[in-house]
């Protein structure tokens, strides 16, 4: 998909200071197109990678979170996830700060999540269910052996590409956990989705991810 479709007339972003600053600061590398969604820790935007002529997703960390944790520490921790390379883990393309706005860049996957697939076809074959579960377990085992614990494994965080699951959202959860230390209460956020949390959620134990599977 070429970048011609991303003319400035088609850009649809919130008129808010973080997005205005980010758009200007990254104008030579990315063209922000539109907001894809927002969660407790970040807002996700569709963007055009000008150098590589591809679509990417840029996650913009909430300013309140950056203020509590500190941008420098956050960037250091984000780099840890860049070393986690596995066929079933969504990779990290880029990260940094731009005019005081903290961001990181991941592939844009324009496909359904495991949750959407299950909602569409509730009953899957045993062989397919075992295959998907095995692939997820292999990805999480690889991450655990590299010291990375995913605290929010759930179908909504598992995009499907060509029938293969991808574990997403390692980056921000890990960075927040490591950078915050014992100060998570100051952010007003929790790591994980309450409905899907394991009893070991607060300990960063591998059982958290096992429970998610």
For residues 208 and 149, the answer to whether their CB atoms sit within 8 Å is yes
For residues 43 and 59, the answer to whether their CB atoms sit within 8 Å is yes
Task: Produce one character per residue of 124-157: b if its CB has 16 or more CB atoms within 10 Å, e if not.
Answer: eeeeeeeebeebbeebbebbeeeebbbbbbbbbb
- Catalytic site residue from 152, 162, 196, 205: 152
| 94 among known catalytic residues | no
For residues 49 and 55, the answer to whether their CB atoms sit within 8 Å is yes
Element (H, E) at 38: strand 30-38
Using CA atoms, how far apart are residues 30 and 99, in angstroms rounded to an integer? 15
For residues 212 and 153, the answer to whether their CB atoms sit within 8 Å is yes
> Among 119, 120, 1, 114, which residue's Cα sits nearest to residue 49?
1
Using CA atoms, how far apart are residues 88 and 157, in angstroms rounded to an integer? 12
Using CA atoms, how far apart are residues 81 and 56, in angstroms rounded to an integer? 17
Would you please indicate which residues are annotated as catalytic (active-site) residues? 152
């Amino acid at each position: 998909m070429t970048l011609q479709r991303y003319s400035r007339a088609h850009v649809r972003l919130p008129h808010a200071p973080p997005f205005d600053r980010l758009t200007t600061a990254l104008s030579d590398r990315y063209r922000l197109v539109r907001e894809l969604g927002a969660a407790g820790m970040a807002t996700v935007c569709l963007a055009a990678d000008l150098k590589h002529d591809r679509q990417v997703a840029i996650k913009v960390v909430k300013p309140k979170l950056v203020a509590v944790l500190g941008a420098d520490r956050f960037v250091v921790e984000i780099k840890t996830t860049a070393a986690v390379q596995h066929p079933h883990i969504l990779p990290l393309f880029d990260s940094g700060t731009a005019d005081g706005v903290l961001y990181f860049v991941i592939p844009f996957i324009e496909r359904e999540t495991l949750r959407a697939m299950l909602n569409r076809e509730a009953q899957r074959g045993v062989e397919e269910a075992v295959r998907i579960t095995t692939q997820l377990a292999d990805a999480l085992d690889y991450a655990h052996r590299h010291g990375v614990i995913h605290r929010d494994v759930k179908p909504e965080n598992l995009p499907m590409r060509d029938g293969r699951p991808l574990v997403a959202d390692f980056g921000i959860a890990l960075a927040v956990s490591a950078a915050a230390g014992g100060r998570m209460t100051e952010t007003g956020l929790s790591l994980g989705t309450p409905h899907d949390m394991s009893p070991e959620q607060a300990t960063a134990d591998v059982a958290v991810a096992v429970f998610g599977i």
